[in-house]
Structure 1
Amino acid sequence: MSATPSDIVEAGYDRIAARYLAWSEQVEGDPRLRFLHDLLARLPAHPAVLDLGCGAGLPCLALLAARGEAVGVDLSGDQLALARQRVPTARLVKGDMTAVEFPPASFDAVTAFYSIGHVPRDEHGALFQRVASWLRPGGHFLAALPSGDGHGTVDDWLGAPMFFSGHDPRTSRRLLAEAGLDVLVDEIVTMREPEGPASFQWVLAARPGSAYGVF
């Protein structure tokens, strides 16, 4: 039986968890903290936030846990072991973001920093619908999405096979709208990874309802 995309991602990050954390610290121009602080400014004082693909928990899950109630989901047990050491106050869940279950309207925000690009693109629409169902009215979804429509497995990414998949920005905007999410921010940002430039579509979307903050 051939490995599924989730099998490839889980095994890959189990193999490179510590290496990925060190590699990510070498990325120049990563805008995640800028977008995260923008999100936090829109949330209530003690928000409940779900981080999909939380990895080792740095820096985002740690900031979320310091601010409120943070739940981190990741496929990789080795990644979660690192997160458990670094963010002991967060609730950590080992699982696939396309299959985990949470009660409806249980979070003020959902975040996904570069993780949705590891989900097969034909599942993105259903995932956005799940995210919308988990958000409270006026809740926000912040994600770094692929900016291209590539799809497939790379044989060697930081020392392990890895699966990547994405849509073009226009398609991602349509899928977010079909999930009932209003896109507030939509920005393509290019940063410099150790191997070269990489661009992502950053979106901040909201579930309609009683909103927090000023847009």
Structure 2
Amino acid sequence: MSADQDTPSPPTPGTVRPGGRTARTRTAVRDAVLSGLVEHGYPGLTVEYVAERSGVHKTTLYRRWGGVEGMLADALDLAGEDAWTPPDTGSLDGDLRALAREILETFTDPATAAAPAAFIAAAFHSDRAAQALRAFYDERFRRCAPLVARAADRGEVPAGTDPGALARAVGAPLFLRLFVTREPVDAAVADQAAAAALAAARAGVYADPRTA
């Protein structure tokens, strides 16, 4: 049996695995992967580095994760098992502004920016990392459903508005500036992205025609 075949399937993002030694090992490997990505980037991340940093033997790493790509994908899966929920400020305008500013803080605060930015960079080098990153954000978009449902109940957007489409509209201008054009991003830019997404949502741009 190959290492890949022996690697357990990752959980659906948003689920929590049991604790114990397995959970501690998984967390140690995740932390080592994050450190390696920040220090060396994906091209410089090696099983040897993760083994030394995590204290987990290389044989175990290969058996359970199959290599660097498997460890990276599982680190993203583990990140998706958190308890994040979208903002609830009492209005869609407030929620979208808070969401945009949260994205801004995540990728500009020196204390938090390095790891998520490194994950995104890794997704350009690894198909498996890209799939895991997509699953991570799909879960984030799914969790935005209550935000949109509340807004629809208040009459702020049409029924059937797609939560994922709306969340993408908030984040897209920020990610463009952060990772493509490398332009400065501040609170005013975040508020502008939220306002544009709000105007489009109110106009029904993101509503499913089958439910409108």
TM (norm. structure 2) is: 0.23
Give the structure with the higher percent strand. 1
Give the structure with the higher percent helix. 2
